[in-house]
Amino acid sequence: MSSGLGIRACLALLPAIAAAADPPVTAIAFAPDGESVVLASQAGLSVRDWPDLNPVRKLSTTLVNIHDMAFSPDGRSLAVAGGTPSEAGLAQILAWPGGVSSCELHGHDDSVLAVAWMNDSAIATASLDHKIVVWDVITRQPIERLKGHSRGVSNLCFLRDKDVLISSGLDQNLRVWNSKSGKMVRTLNNHTKEVHELALRPATEGLPMIASVSNDHTVRLWQPTIGRMVRFAQLSATPLAVEWLADGSQVAVAATDGYVRLIDPDTVEVLQTIPAVRGWAYSLAVHRSDGSLLVGGQNGQLKRITPDSSRP
Amino acid sequence: MSAFVLLMALLSPGDEAANVKTNSVDFDNSVIPILTKAGCNTGACHGAAVGRGGFRLSLYGGDPDFDYRSIVLELEGRRVNLSRPDKSLLVLKPTESIEHGGGTRLEYEGTDAVLLTKWIAQGTPRVQSERLDQFHVSPEVHVAGRVGAELQLEATAHFTGGTEVNVTQWTVFTPEDAAALTIDPQTATARLLRRGRHIVVARYLDRVVPIEIIVPLSDTAVEMAGAPRHNFIDDEVLQLLSTLRIPVSQQADSLTFLRRATLDLTGRLPTIDGIGEFLNASGPQQRKQLIDGLLNSAEFNEYWTLQMAKLLRIRSQAKDSQGASTYHKWLKNQIANGTPYDEMTREILTATGDTHEVGPANFYRTVGGAREQAEFASELFMGNRLRCANCHNHPLDRWTQDDYHGLAAIFAKLDTGRVIKVNGRGEVTHPRTGAAAMARIPGERFLEDDCDGREAFAAWLTNQQNPYFAKAFVNRLWKSMMGRGLVEPTDDLRATNPATHPALLTQLADDFVRHNYDLRHTLRRIALSAAYSRSPQTLPGNRADNRFYSHALSRPLQPEVLADALSDITGIAAQYGDAPSGTRAVALFDPNIKSDALDILGRCRRTDSCEADDQAGGGLSRKLHLFNGELINRRNSDPDSRLAKLIAAGRKPEKIVEQFYQLALSRNPDERERTYWTKQVAAAIDAEQRQEIMEDFIWSLLTCREFVTNH
């Protein structure tokens, strides 16, 4: 056995040690001008140029783990969400493009897994502590605390009228909230395992539609305002991240097999299965003007994908 | 020197479980044992089916793939921090550097926490350079000199690459009875607190092995030289008794032996004529002749058909009693014809056809569903609880989810309506993969998808080398004769629930196989042992013994046997549903037939295993009914009863007392009993009061412990 003194010495030195592998890329956000992209991992925040992905700079953050990022509607702020696992969850607002921290929103007991902007001065955060908090980022005060999920809340999105908030949870449910009153409107409970992410379909005619992905290997399409699950696709791997292509014509899903699948929302047919990273693909973002996808995965992997437009 | 290199250098001397070739920490062989040793993956903690605190691990690390996903990949890798390894939840929680519901499981400065941190610093590699080949503990068996003694336990892992590692530090040693001994988890030193035979289960990775520790029950050696030895059974039983220093009781007297053997082999009490014949046949062959006569009797066939019917859970289905009747008749023929048990089993397992015509095909109507069928078949024919491997790999045995769902997949291909036939389509979903499970011989091999796997399963099961089949059956025969299985419960044979006499169980099984799986042979072997012939009278040194066979164990009569005995003694037969008058309870094929007597006596309805019921001996309700209800009293006062007829025939009270003693207890009243009842009868003022006293006498006889037990 090693001596206690030796081990003590080692532990004192351990904080300086970084792992032999890069941490996974857990969140991706394209800058409002589309010229750069922000990447998040346990290593912090880094900005790369687009489309070459060359490192540009690092952004300073107090978060130990980062799980989500979102630019404000006016493009002047970047909300970064995460926390210290099992201890505290917070969102940090950084001025864009400067990167200076303008405020930190503390109030969760565990990591914040998702953040979404309600408008330029309000955000919602979803945490593993089972709660959703709507914040006024000017006053840094909570506006509403939404309680209803029985396990961690994994993702959030606002519908276009901004009064309706949809959340997904590890309790297998999606919940529809009135963000002004803080009241839960309904629960969508067709998933049979933990739900990881949600994505709102870009503006199309008709009722708003969202896509959700779950450990039950399904991608489900919903009309949340009427509480209807429209249809679902069953996949051979567990989907972890979901986005809509910019025109809303297809759903892109990143999964544990490292592939990205493009799915027709009308037929739920998988149109393309594209290799992206080795291992789990955690994060996914769609460039709003050039139509490319950026996928982040284990060991800091990044992959730019241009969907084959010749295929349906 | 960098901190990491320094850390590695410091760890290396004691870091034996790390991969010595690559110096990468081996997740499967090093990380998981740390979590197991710390108790993180127990059923009470993160090994629970739903996990704990949102973090789930496989039970006792039985599924390393799952654990790796949970620890490294889930929730975007939040449980390990690759940038700041020491800030990883995996380290902070068990060292209680942050709040942890499970308290402190690892010392912050201990080697385990450092090893976990080192693994994270290496980038959480999924390395398993070698697979565990064998796991040994030392000692395997130990006889301690005294209470208070200490014993150092050691564990060694042998890996497929030839590496031999002392894994004592990462082995979990769990005493079966925490009050009997304690084990220091840091040093693996056992301290013995109580006399007796104690089992400690040692767990490393997916292996569990038992350690047997004995502290003799006395400080004085006992003399076994004079104890009778009739066959190998006695050698094994006496050897352990000698080790434990438990003295043996005398051999039972002839009439006690007669009653015991007759009840065990025929489910009946000896008749008065039978008692006379037995006593007349005194001599060295007396007991052998008795046993042979009983084994070859029609009563044996009837009673052992009941015993087997209980094991097979033969019972009527809803609105269909024909199948059970056909099954029962088939079984009775097998018993009467002396069909070997392996042959009988093959016929049961591979049966197809109309259950109204093909008796053994009813096996597939006994329980509903392929999984239930797998559980039933494994418990019945293998004495193994495969059911534990439904949701997770069996924590205390070798069975995996592949084994459980694979065996179920064999049975899933059957239509189990009135006609049993192979449909070839059925399947069961493997809960881990979500896909159809592949048919599999448990612990052995997967089967081709398009075959009827029952043939292969039956062939494997009844192969002479099968390690479960014969042992499971002889253990049940032993329990039936001796009152306790060599392994208890009898459907839970596994390495971590070892037999009290492992060598004896093996010898009995080998002997059974050598003698063509002959039920009668093994029963005869047991019945003719000196251990079986022991007196139930205890000695000061063996009074507490209930498992080492130093004296005969007293057992409650089975409900059917007791019901028949009451009918025989009182002379008033019980009525069972619409069965012909005079039908004996042991001959009924349907356990659900209408019968107040069997309800009161606590029958098993065979919807589940009856083996627990046999041990129970009835509860308070049964005893109150027996003592105060009409079951005895109504028949006692019946004008057609044996008592009424004897009185009417002018038989003297003392002769009536003698006859009932012989019928119920297979003996004459002793002087004290005779005197007591003579005085009671003499005090009667008239015939009516005399009859009441005689009825009281019979009531007391039929409710006494000596009557309602086999001893």
Domains and CATH numbers, chain B: 3-121 (no CATH), 132-215 (2.60.40.1080), 254-298+471-552 (no CATH), 365-461 (no CATH), 556-710 (no CATH)
pLDDT on residue B1: 30
Q: Do A18 and B76 touch (CB under 8 A)?
A: no
pLDDT, position B319: 85
**Partner residue facing A10 (CB), from B7, B54, B76:** B7
For chain B, the average pLDDT equals: 92
pLDDT surpassing 90 at residue B166: yes
What is the separation, in whole angstroms, between the first and last Cα of chain B?
77
The answer to whether A14 contacts B82, with C-beta atoms less than 8 Å apart, is: no
What's the average model confidence in pLDDT over B35-51?
92
How confident is residue B282, by pLDDT bands cut at 50, 70 and 90? confident
Residue B467 CB neighbours (<10 A): 13
Q: What is the DSSP string of B565-618?
A: HHHHHHS-PPP-TTSPTT--GGG-S-TTS--HHHHHHT---SSS-SHHHHHH--
Please give the structure tokens belonging to residue A307.
Answer: 């969907």
Instruction: Determine phi and psi for B452, rounding to 5 degrees.
Output: -80, 100
Contact B86 A282 (CB under 8 A): no
> A2 and B82 in contact by Cβ < 8 A?
no
Residue with tokens 């995965």: A297
- Among B14, B99, B125, the residue with its CB nearest the CB of A2 is B14
**Is the pLDDT score of B530 beyond 60?**
yes
Chain B nearest CA to A16, separation (Å):
8
B9 has pLDDT over 80: no
- Of B529, B565, B495, the residue nearest B211 (C-alpha): B495
pLDDT, residue B11, reads 43
CB A112 within 8 A of CB A82: yes
pLDDT at B617: 52
Mean pLDDT of B564-580: 95
Of A120, A200, A114, the C-alpha closest to A156 is: A114
**Cβ contact (<8 Å) for A85 and B78?**
yes
Residue of chain A whose Cα is closest to the Cα of B87 = A15
Closest CB to B83: pick one of A18, A67, A128.
A18
H-run or E-run covering B507: helix B502-514
Q: How far is CA A149 from CA A34, A68, A129, A155, A177, in A?
A: 35, 19, 9, 12, 11
Hey, is the C-beta of A102 within 8 angstroms of any chain B C-beta?
no
Given this model, what pLDDT does residue B130 score?
86
Q: Is the pLDDT of residue B62 over 50?
A: yes
pLDDT score, position B22: 53
Confidence of residue B326 (pLDDT cuts 50, 70, 90): very high
Q: What is the pLDDT of residues B367-394, one digit of tens each?
A: 999 999 999 999 999 999 999 888 877 7
Mean pLDDT value of segment B307-320: 94
Long-range CB contacts for residues B540-548, cutoff 8 Å, separation at least 24 = B541/B217, B541/B218, B541/B222, B541/B245, B541/B246, B541/B247, B542/B246, B542/B247, B542/B248, B542/B249, B544/B217, B545/B217, B545/B246, B546/B484, B547/B484, B547/B500, B548/B197, B548/B237, B548/B240, B548/B241, B548/B244, B548/B246, B548/B500
Gyration radius of chain B over CA positions: 30
Closest CA in chain A for residue B98: A87
How would residue B20 be classed by pLDDT, with cut points 50, 70 and 90?
A: very low
CB contact under 8 Å between B54 and A20, yes or no, is no
Question: Can you give the three-state secondary structure of A62-119, one letter per residue?
Answer: CCCEEEEEEECCCCCEEEEEEEECCCEEEEEEEECCCCCEEEEEEEECCCEEEEEEEE
pLDDT confidence bin for B308, thresholds 50/70/90: very high
State the smallest CA–CA distance between residue B88 and chain A in angstroms: 8
Count Cβ atoms below 10 Å from residue A122 Cβ, excluding itself.
Answer: 19
Distance CA B2, CA A16 (A): 10
Please tell me which of the candidates A1, A67, A85 has its beta carbon nearest to residue B14.
A1
B174 band by pLDDT with thresholds 50, 70 and 90: very high
Q: Which uninterrupted H or E stretch holds B513?
A: helix B502-514
Tell me the β-bridge partners of A68: A81
Q: Categorize the per-residue pLDDT at B621 as very low, low, confident or very high, splitting at 50, 70 and 90.
A: confident
pLDDT at A15: 37
Does the pLDDT at position B17 exceed 60?
no
Mean per-residue pLDDT for B645-649? Answer: 93
Quickly state the pLDDT bin for B145 (edges 50, 70, 90): confident
pLDDT for the residue numbered A19:
59
CB B288 within 8 A of CB B528: yes
Asked if the Cβ–Cβ distance from A64 to B111 is below 8 Å, we say no
**B45 pLDDT above the threshold of 80:** yes
Q: How far off is chain B from A302, nearest CA to CA, in Å?
A: 15
Of A13, A19, A26, the CB nearest to B76: A26
Count CB pairs under 8 A between chains A and B.
Answer: 128
For residue B225, the one-letter residue type is A
Residue B391 has what pLDDT?
83
**Residue B14 pLDDT:** 40
Q: Name the minimum distance, in Å, from the CA of A216 to any CA of chain B.
A: 10
Q: Which of A267-271, B96-100, B581-585, B629-633 has the lowest mean pLDDT?
A: B629-633
CB-nearest partner of A151 from B54, B81, B122 = B54
Q: Which residues of B touch A86 (CB under 8 A)?
A: 89, 92-93, 98-99
Query: Distance between alpha carbon A125 and the CA centroid of its chain, in Å?
Result: 11
pLDDT higher than 60, residue B19: no
* 8 Å CB contact of B82 and A23: yes
Among A19, A86, A256, select the one facing B98 at the smallest CB separation.
A86
Kindly tell me if the per-residue pLDDT of B103 is higher than 90.
yes
Say what the pLDDT of residue B13 is: 36
Residues in chain A with pLDDT values less than 70? 1-19, 309-312
| pLDDT band at residue B613 using 50, 70 and 90 as cut-offs | low
What is the nearest CA distance from A14 to chain B, expressed in angstroms?
6
The model's pLDDT over B461-519, given as tens digits with 9 standing for 90+, comes to 999 999 999 999 999 999 999 999 999 999 999 988 999 999 999 999 999 999 999 99
Comparing alpha-carbon positions, the chain B residue that sits nearest to A23 is B82
Whether the pTM exceeds 0.90: the reply is no
A179 close contact with B: CB closer than 8 A: no
Which residue in the set B6, B89, B124 is minimally distant from A86, CB to CB? B89
Q: Give the gap in angstroms from C-alpha B27 to the nearest C-alpha of chain A.
A: 15
Q: How far is B37 from chain A (nearest CA, A)?
A: 17
> Quick one: what percent of chain B has pLDDT higher than 70?
96
* A298 reaches B (C-beta below 8 A): yes
Interchain pair B73, A256: CB under 8 A? yes
